[in-house]
Amino acid sequence: MALDFMKVFKGINFAGLASDPASPTNGDIYYNTVSNSFRVYVNGGWTDLTDLTSSQTLTNKTIDAANNTISNIANANIAAAAAIAYSKLDLADSIVDADINSAAAIAYSKLALSDSIVNADINSAAAIAYSKLDLADSIVDSDINSAAAIAYSKLALTDSIVNADIATAAAIAYSKLDLADSIVDADINSAAAISGTKINPDFGSQDITTAGDLVLEDAQSPTPNYVKLSAPAALSSNQKLILPSGAASLDKTLVVDSVSGEDITLTWGDASGQATVIITQASHGFAVGDVLYLNGTVYTKANASDPESSEVVGIVSEIIDANDFKLTSSGVVDNLTSSNFVEAALPSEGDVIFLSTTDGKMSVSEPTSAGEISLPLGVAKTTSSMYVQLKRGFVVGSNDITTELTLTNNATSNIQDVSAYKAGELTGWVTIDADTNYRFYLQVQFAENGNDTDYNIAYQTTGDTPPAGFSVSVTSAGLIQLTLPNLSGFTSATINYALNAPAVGVTLPLSIDASKITTGTLATTVVPDLDASKITTGTLDTARVDAADILTAANRTIAAGNGLTGGGTLAANRTITLGTPSSITSVSGNTVTSTSHTHSISTASIGALNSGLTANAVGSYAFAGSISSISATTFNSTLAGSSLRASDEEGTTVGSGSLSGTWRCMGYRRSGATTSTVWLRIS
């Protein structure tokens, strides 16, 4: 074996390499200059030449704990500041009392003290929390301080407290008591005044008796001041709501307000028969006191101008909200204001109140114009309330009003809509101009049938026999029509008629609703407003008179315009007088005042006027001298033309004739008979 080794007595120097050489063979060895260690190729891999399993003495070396076991470490080997982690120590059953510093403050969780602590271990001021103590069945009465004030939640007092334990002033809150089915009548003080909201008022079969008032508060929905009575699903007998007799029942009673399903809501109303309903109509916009009619399905403000809008169904008595209101058709409506009346004033007690011709408003004056509807709504109870007593109104009539319509040849013409009436009569005359002329009086009777579904009609004529094919008919909707045949030589045809339709309180014949006249013009045979005494001669022809243009003389006024005076109503003869004009001057203009006037004059007009003047005319000039010797004549003095005659420039008289009129001196004339100057004839 020794022969297989080479002995080296002086040492071997291995060349250093920085890394393991390539293509090694087991047994190769070299010195690594990086790790400063010998490396050997063993079993197919490079490893440090040091024996990893043998014990080594190391100085200032890093020990791989995973591949090395350290033993024989003594206390002196560990530095005072080593701070070895607890996880690297095995201290089981090793630490003794002397090992723990007096100020160590070791946490409780790091101690196992079960059945170890004794009374002497606990400081008298320790104040140990209850949760850290196990005192079950241990505390006795003497352990508890008289002022301990132990909280109830920390006590188990079930079935333990007796009456003597509770102080008379304890004032124990109700929420801390279980009094279900325990309180009896004697427990409640006679002055307890328990609020109704704190009880469930189911009185079963017990009577409710009170000597006071049953007050209805405003909290009930949908509207205040009402009582809702609900009965069980099944009743063995009829039930009665009994009101007190005598004076107590004179003012108020219960009436049906509205019906919804099986519920009936009753409201307090007047004993006279209050009838009030709750109406829901989105954004109704009404106010208390508005008078309404039903326009189809929409509640609308009523108006006495025509029959349709005057079919009043009630008066708004209360506004619940923007979409709900109370409508009263019988009884009392309160809280009226002057804005509810066209007079802008409140009525007096006892005044009869009528529907007005202003939408939704009332009036203390009855409508009187022909065609308007007289409809009493009730009587004023006070200045701000009224008894509502709706009645059927009537159309205000006027005597002898007729309607003239043009008829069409070989066609059917609409004559009159009578749908607003149950029955009546249309009378008048028909005039036809054709190859054969016709004039006859026509009487047409109409009536709605008993089912209000159709109209019946009959007619008679007096005078010329109507042409063959002439007929009068009525539609089921109440429109009277007249049919003419095809007439040879037809030029024109008319019917002039009046409508007599009986209604309560109407003086016949009725007025004609102009909206029902489809063609033609309104005429009148008798004009009630015309004073016949004012017609001095002639005959009034009313065949084409428009009633709107006929007024009484006192209603017409002639007014004097600018520059005029006089005038007045035609109740007397009137004179219109031209006001005295102002004088024309060189600066006057064409102007007029309330009682006078003046004119302007142009220089061109003056020139034209002067050019047209003849000798010896007013406004003309003359060079003249006196006929005889007279005293001197000064400027602007006047002289009769008989004292003057024309002369030459030297004053020598020419001619023998004198001038006419009166002349103004426009110069100066010396005394004597031979002096001359310029003169202007002024008259």
Q: What is the CATH number of the domain that holds 362?
A: 2.40.300
594 and 565 assigned to the same domain: yes
413 and 506 assigned to the same domain: yes
| Residue 559 token pair | 């007014």
Q: Is the pLDDT of residue 519 over 50?
A: no
Residue 342, in any domain of the structure: yes
375 and 415 assigned to the same domain: no
Q: Is the pLDDT of residue 299 over 50?
A: yes
What is the distance between the alpha carbons of residues 478 and 183, in angstroms, rounded to a whole number?
Answer: 77
341 and 371 assigned to the same domain: yes
pLDDT tens digits for range 77-127:
788 888 888 778 887 778 887 888 888 888 877 877 777 787 777 887 878
584 and 625 assigned to the same domain: no
DSSP of 111-178: ---TTT--GGGS-TT----GGG---TTT--GGGS-TT----GGG---TTT--GGGS-TT----GGG--
Residue 478, in any domain of the structure: yes
291 and 351 assigned to the same domain: yes
% of the chain surpassing 70 pLDDT: 73
How would you list the strands of the sheet with 644-646, edge to edge? Answer: 638-640, 662-665, 676-681, 621-626, 644-646
Under the banding of pLDDT at 50, 70 and 90, the label for residue 668 is confident
Residue 471, in any domain of the structure: yes
**Residue 402: per-residue pLDDT:** 61
**Residue 431: per-residue pLDDT:** 95
State the DSSP code for 341: B
pTM of the model: 0.30
**Residue 461: per-residue pLDDT:** 94
**Residue 420: per-residue pLDDT:** 82
Handedness of CA 44, 45, 48, 53 (dihedral sign): negative
Q: Is the pLDDT of residue 42 over 80?
A: yes
Q: Give the count of domains, the chain.
A: 5
pLDDT tens digits for range 399-452:
445 678 899 999 999 998 888 888 889 999 999 999 999 999 999 999 999 888
Q: Which of 99-108, 546-555, 606-615 has the lowest mean pLDDT?
A: 546-555
376 and 438 assigned to the same domain: no
| Residue 495 token pair | 């019917």
485 and 586 assigned to the same domain: no
Q: What are phi and psi of 189, to 5 degrees?
A: -65, 145
pLDDT tens digits for range 357-378:
999 999 999 888 777 888 999 9
Q: Is the pLDDT of residue 47 over 80?
A: yes
377 and 317 assigned to the same domain: yes
pLDDT tens digits for range 616-631:
888 888 888 877 777 7
**Residue 247: per-residue pLDDT:** 38
- The residue range of the domain holding 21 is 12-48
Q: Is the pLDDT of residue 527 over 50?
A: no
**Residue 414: per-residue pLDDT:** 92
**Residue 313: per-residue pLDDT:** 93
Number of Cβ within 10 Å of residue 47's Cβ equals: 13
116 versus 459: the higher-pLDDT residue is: 459
Q: Is 495 helix (H, G, I), strand (E, B) or coil?
A: strand
- Going by C-beta distance under 8 Å and a sequence separation of 6 or more, which residues neighbour residue 78? 84
Residue 149, in any domain of the structure: no
Residue 262, in any domain of the structure: no
State mean pLDDT over 295-299: 93
Q: Is the pLDDT of residue 249 over 70?
A: no
Q: What are phi and psi of 377, to 5 degrees?
A: -100, -20
CB 530 within 8 A of CB 552: yes
**Residue 164: per-residue pLDDT:** 80
Residue 236, in any domain of the structure: no
**Residue 605: per-residue pLDDT:** 67
Number of Cβ within 10 Å of residue 503's Cβ equals: 18
What is the distance between the alpha carbons of residues 403 and 397, in angstroms, rounded to a whole number?
Answer: 14
**Residue 312: per-residue pLDDT:** 94
Q: Which of 405-409, 472-476, 478-482, 553-557 has the lowest mean pLDDT?
A: 553-557
**Residue 511: per-residue pLDDT:** 45
448 and 476 assigned to the same domain: yes
Residue 172, in any domain of the structure: no
CA distance from start to end of the chain = 195
**Residue 89: per-residue pLDDT:** 80
**Residue 14: per-residue pLDDT:** 77
Q: Is 532 exposed, middle or buried (0-12, 13-18, 19+ CB in 10 A)?
A: exposed
CA proximity to 289, closest of 314, 323, 267 = 314
**Residue 613: per-residue pLDDT:** 80
Chain mean position to CA 388: 28
